A and B are shown apart, each in its own frame.
Chain A
Amino acid sequence: MSDLTLNIASLPGNVGVQAQRSQAADICARTGLPGKRDEDWKYTDISRLTATLGDAWWLTAPTAINSDATSLATIDDLDAYRLVFIAGQFQPEQSNLPDGVQLRPLSELLQNDTDDSAHCLFKLDESAPLFNGLLAANSALASDGLCACIGDGIKLDKPLYAVHVGNSTAHTLNGLMLGKGAEATLIEHFIGTDSDQAGLSNIATYLRLGDNAALTHYRLQLESDKQFHVGRVEVKQARDSRYTLHAVELGGSLSRADIVVNLAEPGASCALNGLFVASGRQHIDHHTRIDHNAPHCCSRENYRTVLDGRAHAVFNGKIVVAEGAVKTDSAQSNGNLLLSKHAEIDTKPELEIYNDDVKCAHGVTVGQLDKNQLFYLKSRGLSEDEARQLLTVAFADEILVAMDIKAVRSFIEKEAFSKLPNLGDLEGVLG
């Protein structure tokens, strides 16, 4: 692990950032990668990372990408401000940034020795929920990302669309701050190229919502099928702010995301919508943690997974209601559709409630396609495959309809269900 320190000397950032980098490198060296003994990693074996990428898994793999993002499967009919990152590096000539808001790539901020605005992004809190060595590696090594500050009362007229391309190893650090009453939509889209190379996308995204601010956040993971993806989304919400996440997991070999939301002030609300569609030997894991730290906050969580082949998904939804967080309103639901008898889901709601004045509902379902529904559709003339496709899409529909940008929604619909060719594997399950 100590090697990691050697890598940071060449990275951008002023003295302050460098100091934080070496602290992070030390933490990473000390904590190492999470292991099976770690309760939060019980079902996700991250040793696959070292097995594939070697002991120096954090190293930036040689970048063999010269492609430009326009040739890739991005969401084309989307009217948005585009920020393109290839192999973790910002591509100014492929991007178009909005005027009138502070929005710059991290790499640019780090070049300016007198600019301290990036410092806070590099600061680590080891006691934070779901903290781990991967996040420390991110702080130690991140050299680019999106940094934006949407001022008070500003409503961004178009979504920010950050496209991250590459099968390479990249540590990306994003920070987005919304001032009082500000409104924005952020779309993070992770895609691979058709190269066979495997790498690690290590993405940390810090979001701060001021009083009454509203952020809609799409996190679309469509990496290539050998890629490792680990991410952390950390949200801190001030009074009456509203955060909506649409987390879509379609790609990658192993993908893990930690979603940590702090409802810090009264009246804040969040909605986390998740959709996994996995097949083959894909492994997808979301750990979500919502802290109700103030009265009258509301959280909604709805995750749906569709698993085929030997795919394995993990969902852990932890909700912690603090002592003073009276009138908490929280609901969590997790539905799982297993299209194959070899697919596997580990799902666990976790509630920690420290006061009596709360409303907390949660529910989990795991099942196969309903054979009465299948028969009904077939009796109307739909083929077996068509009927299965349709019921699978219907199962995911609840998550899809919540996506308010039509272009994103139809893109995801298309990508999600073109990847389930193996619908024949059902025989034994339906009996």
Chain B
Amino acid sequence: MLKIENLHASVAGKEILKGINLEIGAGEVHAIMGPNGSGKSTLSNVIAGRDGYKVTAGSVTYNGKDLLAMEPEERAWEGVFLAFQYPVEIPGVNNTYMLKAGVNAKRKHQGEQELDAIDFMQLVKEKAKLVELNESFLSRGVNEGFSGGEKKRNEIFQMAVLEPSLALLDETDSGLDIDALRIVANGVNKLRREDRSIVMVTHYQRLLDYIEPDFVHVLADGQILKSGDKSLALELESRGYDWVKEEAAA
């Protein structure tokens, strides 16, 4: 399980996360909601190990191991996966090749045998169906020329292939039309497992109509101001975020 304690992080000298405390148990689905600029992506990125963030206090442990001391790829080998808010295009790097390298690096790390090309292709084709991703996308450059929705779908497809035990979905719902949202959400639901935790970061309640969270947290101004169950999301939908801030300030 993931345990975040008193996490403070800053970007370019500016403090963004101001003492985050959060525990995510195996198999749980958490939604982190908050207004734009509240630090949701910062939190996801710090957990995944992106450069440029300075952790000034606190800790992040995963299954008892200190995540912050690991390189991003080591975190991936431990089962952490980040679906990017803005997936980057990597022309010239084949989507499937990248995934095969990723899967096999992880298997190697876990002392398992690496998959050969044929087994891997089979796996990949099977997983592509899950998010209704056309097979033609498999052999293209990573996100190269993909539309916004295709990129998000590709993220969930990668999640399906990499089989993480902790998936952080950063605004996977933004920029999707209703049909695409349904496809992506269906994919995520099919990937729910007892041993897989999912953290959905979003500022729309809409996603939660499709993927039902066990817990909902409100992140505002670098702090988790309130936690609750699914009904909190509905309340946020109708009342906005301000009342949470006021309540917290009181």
Contacts and interface: CB of A to CB of B under 8 A. Distances in A.
A379 B72 contact: yes
Contacts of A377: 90, 93, 98, 102
Contacts of A430: 51
Interface stretch (A9-17, A258-266, A386-394): A386-394
Given A381-B101, A386-B101, A386-B105, 7 more contacts: A376-B90, A379-B72, A380-B76, A381-B105, A381-B106, A382-B102, A393-B93
Interface in B3-56: 48-51
Nearest to B106: A381
29 contacts: A372-B88, A373-B88, A375-B49, A375-B50, A376-B88, A376-B90, A377-B98, A378-B72, A378-B73, A379-B73, A379-B76, A379-B82, A380-B76, A380-B101, A380-B158, A381-B76, A381-B77, A381-B102, A381-B103, A381-B162, A382-B73, A382-B105, A383-B105, A384-B71, A387-B73, A393-B92, A394-B90, A397-B91, A397-B92
Interface of B: 48-51, 71-73, 75-77, 81-82, 84, 87-88, 90-93, 97-99, 101-103, 105-106, 141-142, 158, 162
A30 interface: no
Contact of B48 (A370, A379, A398): A379
A206 interface: no
Interface of A: 370-373, 375-384, 386-387, 390-391, 393-395, 397-398, 430
Contacts of A398: 92
Given A381-B105, A386-B101, A386-B105, A373 B72 contact: no
Contacts, number: 79
B87 A376 contact: yes
A380 B162 contact: yes
B90 A375 contact: no
Query: Which of A375, A386, A387, A397: most chain B Cβ within 10 A?
Result: A375
Contacts of A379: 48-50, 72-73, 75-76, 81-82
A292 to B, nearest CB: 30
Contacts of B162: 380-381
B96 to A, nearest CB: 12
Nearest to A400: B92
Given A371-B51, A372-B88, A375-B50, A380 B98 contact: yes
Contacts of B102: 377, 380-382
A375 B51 CA distance: 8
B93 A390 contact: yes
B84 A383 contact: no
Contacts of A394: 90-93, 141
Query: Which of B76, B92, B99, B158: most chain A Cβ within 10 A?
Result: B92
Contacts of A390: 93, 97-98, 101
A327 B97 CA distance: 43
Contact of B98 (A370, A372, A382): A382
Nearest to B45: A375
Nearest to B144: A394
Query: Which of A371, A379, A384: most chain B Cβ within 10 A?
Result: A379
Contacts of B141: 394
